[in-house]
Amino acid sequence: MNFLISGGTGFVGKHLCQALQKKGHHTYILTRSPLDHMNTKATTYIDYNYPVDNLPSIEGVINLAGESLFGYWSQKKKDQIKNSRLETTNILIQLMKQMKIKPNVFISGSAVGYYGISEDLIFTEATAKSGKDFLAEVVVEWEQIAKQAETLGIRTVYTRFGVILGKEGSLPLMSLPVKLFAGGKIGNGEQWMSWIHIEDVVRLIDYCLFNKSMEGAVNTTAPHPLRNKDFMRTLAKVLKRPHWTTTPSTLIHAAIGEMGQLITKGQYVLPQKALDHGFEFKYPELVKALKELKKS
């Protein structure tokens, strides 16, 4: 089968493409610089102006593109975070409108930021009310654009990603102070961290691609979120380092501005839809996930 993927050269995209290729599928990766990449028997790099009529029949379109959340959130950075997601999603909607044979499924990356922040609420896909902060507002607009695929008769899924653990992403940053013997909780440590191993991210996306009963929001998180203090204590134990310091929230916000809420705030998100459909997580517990990443 053929899959069209935006963001295929990113953290999640690279892992997903490799998994699809191992199953014998062909990935068409949308990129603004296709000449910087080498095509293979299983991968073709194309730009966003590639003629739709030149594409073969596409089984599914997967949207993983977007400006990184990491960095100081100036107004310019916030505009890039928002516009990159909305514009790319809109481009994909227009591409699918032009396809004579429509894809069977559209999976659009999203985020648990939809729910806003809370230390005591539990969020599932049944939670209809969104948060009111910047990220929540971005996600709401992002999903509204993606929802247009439904009017084309395309099954549509919004994978709401939590904190993805892998060799890239946020884990190396979280691990650094621990490795330097300065590990500990951030702020009061009570904020929830809804995490997931990168392998389970790929497995759940794959599950959504081929399971016709999966549609709408799908929380892409492990079934056992942890408070920051417990997450950091577990990380220190796996890395065999002490866990004794506290990083003040004020220091985080002074260093990285509004982005600090990703570290000092959080939400307890359950992957209820995946569990209800019988999806089995390979890494449901943090200890197992961290140990696998440490040895790999």
Q: Cα torsion at 125, 126, 129, 132 (round to 10°)?
A: -20
Taking only the tens place, the pLDDT of each residue in 44-93 is 999 999 999 999 999 999 999 999 998 888 999 999 999 999 999 999 99
Kindly report the CATH number assigned to the domain that includes residue 66: 3.40.50.720
Q: Is the pLDDT of residue 255 over 80?
A: no
User: For residue 244, which amino acid is it?
Assistant: W
Taking only the tens place, the pLDDT of each residue in 134-182 is 999 999 999 999 999 999 999 999 999 999 999 998 898 888 888 888 8
The residues, ordered by sequence, that sit 6+ positions from 75 with a Cβ below 8 Å of its Cβ are: none
Residue numbers of the domain that contains 18: 2-295
Which pTM value belongs to this model?
0.95
Tokens encoding 15: 């892992």
Domains held by the chain: number:
1
The residues, ordered by sequence, that sit 6+ positions from 250 with a Cβ below 8 Å of its Cβ are: none
